[in-house]
Structure 1
Amino acid sequence: MHTKEKFRNYLESWRENPKILTPDGVFTSNSFVTSSSPRYNVYGTDFGWGRPIAVRSGPGNKFDGKITIFPGAKQGSVDIEACLSPELLQAMGDDAEFMDTVLC
């Protein structure tokens, strides 16, 4: 569906009328987004202070419902960082069925 010509037209159009996407303009309620890459070894990066003991993605690009997934420190494990509103966290904590499932 995408051709070189369509892509060039899109770029030229964007240059004349740029649109920056925001989470409000892209996502609807009751949705979530994941990010990160299993190819990036976050625990293997050493900036001279030694290997990380924990990894966080920082404050950028945060919004309610965003989930960032990293390969874990131990082989085969996964680290999950969830950006959730206080109201959603309270609702999750108040949901007995959900808490029974996650605390098993």
Structure 2
Amino acid sequence: MKTIATARIEGPEAIGDAEIVQLENGAFQLQLKEFWVAQGAPDVQIVFSKAQDGVISESNIRFIAKLPAGTFNQNFEIDHLSDFEQMKTLIVYCKQFFAHFGHGTIERVI
């Protein structure tokens, strides 16, 4: 396994560490570690964004996964993402209410 990039997500409703890794079989994965999402919001998602400042816009985000509430470690396959090189941030938000929970800048390792 090789780390491609990292990000520290911080905000009022989400916090934790993220790693984008390439597995031995060549697949890519987003790994969330010691991640926390606030309770009570419906439809919380994590997305990649082309915006450096974490602004959510339908034209600049790429869906990764829905997130549970609470504290967790979880991995998500991201092989569907053909434009990863253009992505600047990871954002956690509630899609239903368009509420920003937190974001972090993607720091490329290689």
TM over 0.5: no
Higher RCO (C-alpha under 8 Å, 6+ residues apart): 2
Structure showing greater Rg: 1
Normalising by structure 1, report the TM-score.
Answer: 0.24
Q: Which has the higher helix share?
A: 1
Q: Which has the higher strand share?
A: 2
